[in-house]
Amino acid sequence: MGLTKTYMFTTKQNDLAKIAKVLAHPARVAILEYISKQDACICTDLVDIIGLSQPTISQHLNEIKKIGLLKGTFEGKNLCYCIDQERWEELQQTFHLFFSNINRNCC
């Protein structure tokens, strides 16, 4: 059916899945890598860097924005944005916690 049954799962599980979904495309990984390694805000040039069309990049950026990973100005001709560091560290923590919970006694 293509429709995820989110109501069957906890908020935490759905949240992690939602974040993971954003990272589940190499273009978005590449975009995040690029932005997070910049010394300043991003204005343009992502289309050239990544190599996908401008509408496609715009859509990917929007997905990233949706989980709150970008901050800055999003109006006008030239954008100016960067990683929201606080949110970034929050997500880092989310993944850290997920991977930390594991028992050892196993086959």
Residue 27 engages a second copy in binding (rule: CB under 8 A): yes
Q: Is 20 or 97 the residue whose CB approaches DNA more closely?
A: 20
Q: In angstroms, rounded to a whole number, what is the distance separating the alpha carbons of residues 94 and 48?
A: 32
Q: Is the distance from CB of 6 to CB of 14 less than 8 angstroms?
A: yes
The answer to the question of residue 47 lying near DNA (CB under 7 A) is yes
Q: Considering only residues 86-105, where is the footprint of DNA by CB under 7 A?
A: none
Burial class (CB in 10 A: 0-12, 13-18, 19+), 27: middle
**CA 10 remoteness from chain centre:** 21
Contact residues for a second copy (CB under 8 A)?
4-6, 8-10, 13-14, 16-18, 20-30, 33, 36-41, 50-52, 71-73, 80-83, 85, 88-89, 91-92, 95-96, 98-107
